[in-house]
Amino acid sequence: MVKIFIDPGHGGIDPGAVGNGLQEKNLTLDIALALESLLLNEYENVLVQLSRRNDETVSLMQRTETANSWEADFFLSIHVNAGGGSGFESYIFPDVGSPTTTYQDIIHEEILKVVEFPDRGQKTADFYVLRETTMPALLTENGFVDNNDDANKLKSATFINSIVKGHANGLANAFGLTKKSPIYKVQIGAFKEKRNADSLANKAKSKGFETAVMNRDRLFKVQIGAFSKKDNAETLAQKAKNTGFDVFIDQE
C-alpha cells in the first residue's frame, strides 16, 4: 500500500491567494478532493488521507503532524499562486536529495504534460510543510489567481480536471501505482431523489432485470449489471434498450 497525504492549502479564516473572484482555499480543496477520488477509484493499492475535507482552519503544524503520525509515504501540498506571474511551479525542501528530487522530476513533468500552464520550473524553498514532514514532500503552485489568463483557466472545471489528472499521473508514475481494471456498469437512470431511483428500479425488476440503486457522485444511480468485459455490458444494455429503458454504460 502506498500512503499519499494530500494537503489542500489554506482554508477557513485563511483564504490564501485571492483574485478575479477566486479564492485559493476553494481551488485547492476542489483539486484535493477530486484527486482523492481519482486515485481511489482508478488505482490499486493506494491509501489517501487529506489534511482537511471542508472549508476549515487547519494549522501548518496540524497538517504535518497528521501526515507524520499516519506515516504517509508522500506529502503533497496543493496551492495556487498570486503576486504577479503565470503558470505552474513546484517546490521541495532545499538539499533534500533523493528520492524527493526524483518525485519532483516525475510529478512536475507529468503535470505539465496535461496542464496548459507555462513552466516556471522546479524550485526549492524552506516552507514549513516541506521542512516539518518526515516523508518526501512536494508543494505545487497551480497558476496565479491574480493573472487574467490563469484565472480564466482556473474557472473552468475541465481545466481543474486536467490539474487533478496531472497530479494523479505524476503520483502513479512516481510510486508505480497500477490501474484497476475497468468495470462497465450498465445503468438505466440517475436521480437526485432516491424515491425516483427506487421507482425505476422496481419497474426494471418487474421486467426481469436485477437492479441495484447506487449512491454515487450525489446521485442515485439505477444499475442493472456490472461487468469486466465490455461485450457483456453491451449485450445487457441492448436488452434493456429493447425493453424501453434509457441505457448508458458507465466505465470506472
Supply the residues annotated as catalytic.
141
Write down the least CB distance from residue 212 to Zn ion, Å.
42
Q: What is the DSSP track for the chain? A: -EEEEEEE--BTTB--SEETTEEHHHHHHHHHHHHHHHHHHHBSSEEEEES-SSS----HHHHHHHHHHHT-SEEEEEEEE-SS--SEEEEE-TT--TTHHHHHHHHHHHHHHHS---EEEEEE---HHHHS-SS-EEEEEEEETTSHHHHHHHT-HHHHHHHHHHHHHHHHHHHTPPBPPP-EEEEEEEESSHHHHHHHHHHHHHTT---EEEEETTEEEEEEEEESSHHHHHHHHHHHHHTT---EEEE-
Pull the grid cell for residue 69: 503520525
Q: How many CA atoms lie within 13 A of 242 on its CB side?
A: 8
Among 52, 79, 167, 185, interactor with Zn ion by CB under 5 A: 79
- Residues from 137 through 196 that contact Zn ion (CB under 5 A): none
Binding segment for Zn ion (CB under 5 A), chosen from 63-71, 73-81, 184-192, 239-247, is 73-81
Write down the least CB distance from residue 175 to Zn ion, Å.
24
Write down the least CB distance from residue 24 to Zn ion, Å.
5
Binding segment for Zn ion (CB under 5 A), chosen from 1-9, 116-124, 200-208, 223-231, is 1-9
- Exposure b/e, 65-92, CB count within 10 A at least 16 = b: ebbeeeebbbbbbbbbbbeeebbbbbbb
Binding segment for Zn ion (CB under 5 A), chosen from 14-22, 101-109, 142-150, 231-239, is 14-22
**Of residues 79 and 221, the one with the C-beta less far from Zn ion:** 79
9 lines the binding site for Zn ion (CB under 5 A): yes
**Of residues 79 and 153, the one with the C-beta less far from Zn ion:** 79
Total residues at the site for Zn ion (CB under 5 A)? 3
**Of residues 16 and 225, the one with the C-beta less far from Zn ion:** 16
16 lines the binding site for Zn ion (CB under 5 A): yes
Write down the least CB distance from residue 79 to Zn ion, Å.
4
19 lines the binding site for Zn ion (CB under 5 A): no
Binding segment for Zn ion (CB under 5 A), chosen from 4-12, 44-52, 89-97, 240-248, is 4-12
Write down the least CB distance from residue 39 to Zn ion, Å.
22
8 lines the binding site for Zn ion (CB under 5 A): no
**Of residues 20 and 196, the one with the C-beta less far from Zn ion:** 20
Contacts with Zn ion, residue ranges (CB under 5 A): 9, 16, 79
